[in-house]
Amino acid sequence: MNAIETLVGEFGRLPGIGRKTAQRLTYYLLKASSDDTRRLARALDRVAAEVKVCAACGNLTDVDPCEYCGDPRRDRRQLCVVEEASDIPAIEKSGNYGGLYHVLGGRLSPLDGVGPDDLNLHGLLGRIAEGVDEVIIATNPSVEGEATATYLHRLLGSSSDVTITRLARGLPVGGDLEYADGVTIAQAFSGRREM
Amino acid sequence: MNAIETLVGEFGRLPGIGRKTAQRLTYYLLKASSDDTRRLARALDRVAAEVKVCAACGNLTDVDPCEYCGDPRRDRRQLCVVEEASDIPAIEKSGNYGGLYHVLGGRLSPLDGVGPDDLNLHGLLGRIAEGVDEVIIATNPSVEGEATATYLHRLLGSSSDVTITRLARGLPVGGDLEYADGVTIAQAFSGRREM
């Protein structure tokens, strides 16, 4: 297979990138300077070579412990439990969480064959046993994420006196009541707060 | 900048890939095996190292002359003029053209500062002078593509006795008359053929 076809094929293996997009990206790089193409190749090589899983929290990182676990300014008495390492940048960007993270590496999904043994729960229980004040469950607001949150609540609630919280459900800021789905509005009602 | 951020940045430089998509692609590769990531890096390196412009037709290729110009079975008396090398695979896939190609490397677009001198017209005139029966103008059905086709028609029509044709305009197969735009329908009418 020639070089162009090979690159189209490799781009096409990425999620959400169909054959047409793969061709478009390939021809874009062919028209760009070969330095641009090589810089992307080097960035990929670096990720393949340097990125590993943080032994403490399960975050993807190029230093172990990761930048959060290794930061002495962060509050070690708070653990925010997320499904994936990719959820962490979104929380960090929100800018008002200063504790540590714990990455489950997925969510309970019986249909996909993902059970509790597939999640990084052993590590979570170990970290809680070392002394944590609050576990903030930040799984996704999806059916599987909710099921995972419920499972975690039962698992942790029985074994320790740690405070377990979860992120509020409600109307997204900048959203439009008119277009919000019924479940979100119902949760916004049941979670309403006195002003 | 760490390896993950670097890769997100590099993906984000590609056209049509915003920051969110760049993150999604990066985290997909982080969860995939590092072999997958390295394979994409190798495909990029190959393209950067091997792909060059065919001296005869302007196609992007890893062999010079390119696979079309170098194929003795193709009809050397037909030239299909396209804007970009990326147009060629689409025509090849249609499966009923057996001549050679000529890549202009763009289209006339005064607003973007692209004039006749920026297109590979010198090469086209040289090839026609060597003896060609038909030049098929296959520029895009856009305003700039039409302007380029008209310019080519004038340029070639005056200087030689070659037949100049262009691809038919009309309703796309599988399309829906109801949703076709007015210009397309008008062209389908004016180009109607006896059954």
- Give the residue among A8, A97, A39, A130 at the shortest CA–CA distance from B86: A8
Do the chains contact at A4 and B40, CB–CB below 8 Å? no
**How far is Cα B26 from Cα B30, in angstroms, rounded to an integer?**
6
Please indicate whether, in this complex, the C-beta atoms of A10 and B40 are within 8 angstroms of each other: yes
CA distance A100 to A15: 30
Q: How far apart are CA B8 and CA A93, in angstroms?
A: 15
What pLDDT score does B160 carry? 64
Residue A14 has pLDDT above 80, yes or no: yes
Give Rg (Cα) of chain B: 21
- Cα A47 from Cα A67, distance rounded (Å): 16
Distance CA B173, CA B24 (A): 35
A93 pLDDT band, cuts 50/70/90, is confident
The average confidence (pLDDT) of chain A is 90
Q: Could you write out the DSSP letters of every residue in B28-79?
A: HHHHS-HHHHHHHHHHHHHHHHH-EE-TTT--EESSSS-TTTT-TTSEEEEE
Residue B2: predicted pLDDT? 87
Q: Provide the CA A55 distance to its chain's centre, in angstroms.
A: 16
pLDDT of residue A187: 83
Instruction: Identify the CATH number of the domain defined by range B3-50.
Output: 1.10.8.420
| Distance to chain B for A51, nearest Cα, Å | 7
CATH 3.40.1360.10 residue window(s) in chain B = 72-166
Residue of A44, A63, A83 for testing the chain B interface, max B β-carbons within 10 Å: A44
CA distances from A73 to A53, A69, A77, A96, A99 (A): 21, 10, 12, 14, 9
Percent of chain A scored above 90 by pLDDT? 65
pLDDT at position B148 is 94
User: Which long-range contacts link A31-36 to residues 24+ away (Cβ below 8 Å)?
Assistant: A34/B47, A34/B48, A34/B49, A35/B48, A36/B13
Check whether A158 has a pLDDT greater than 80.
Answer: no
- Return the DSSP state at A184: H
Per-residue confidence (pLDDT) for residue A184, from 0 to 100: 84
Q: CB B27 to CB A62 under 8 A?
A: no
What topology is assigned to B72-166 in CATH? Dna Topoisomerase Vi A Subunit; Chain: A, domain 2 (3.40.1360)
Most A CBs within 10 Å, among B4, B63, B103, to test the A interface: B4
The CA radius of gyration of chain A, in Å to the nearest whole number, is 21
How far CA B156 is from CA of A155, B128, B160, B161, in Å, comes to 79, 9, 6, 9
Which pLDDT belongs to residue B76?
A: 93
- d(CA B112, nearest CA chain A) in Å: 17
Parts of chain B belonging to CATH 1.10.8.420: 3-50
On chain A, the residues whose CB falls within 8 A of the CB of B20 are none
Six token digits for residue A105:
């590496």
Q: What is the ipTM of this complex?
A: 0.78
- Give residue for tokens 């962060």: A74
As averages over each run of 10 residues, the pLDDT of chain B (195 residues) reads 91 93 93 90 94 92 91 94 91 89 93 92 91 91 91 82 87 82 84 80
Task: Specify the pTM.
Answer: 0.77
Kindly indicate the confidence band of residue A160, based on its pLDDT and cuts at 50, 70 and 90.
Answer: low
Contacts of A124 (CB under 8 A, 6+ apart): A79, A81, A102, A104, A156
